[in-house]
Amino acid sequence: MKLKTALVVSGILVVVIGLILMRSMNQKNIQMNNQKCPVSGKSVNKGHTYVHNGKEYNLCSEECKQPLSEHPEKYLSD
Ligand SMILES: [Zn+2]
């Protein structure tokens, strides 16, 4: 009986640890959005974005939107 309890407890621990890992991975995914402008390489600023293939990219300024829309393949790898 004691062994069974230990198995149940360790099973619960594995699930809890798994959930914590999944949560931290999800948080990483949220931060995966680029923090550097793909055109200039500068830090991005809020409100300046460009959508390519359904993915939103952060930009440093409106100035980078035009070169990006003209040659997205030059600046974006996917
Ligand atoms: Zn830029």
| Dist. CA 28 → ligand 1 center (Å) | 23
The whole domain housing 18 covers 2-75
10/16 Cα distance (integer angstroms): 10
CA 31 to ligand 1 centroid distance, Å: 18
Q: What is the pLDDT of residues 45-56, one digit of tens each?
A: 999 999 999 999
pLDDT for residue 40: 97
Number of domains within the chain:
1
Backbone φ, ψ for residue 38 (5° rounding): -65, -20
Closest C-alpha to 62, from 76, 43, 47, 51: 47
Model confidence band, residue 32 (pLDDT cutoffs 50, 70, 90): low
What's the gap in Å between 77 CA and the centre of ligand 1? 16
pLDDT at 27 > cutoff 70: no
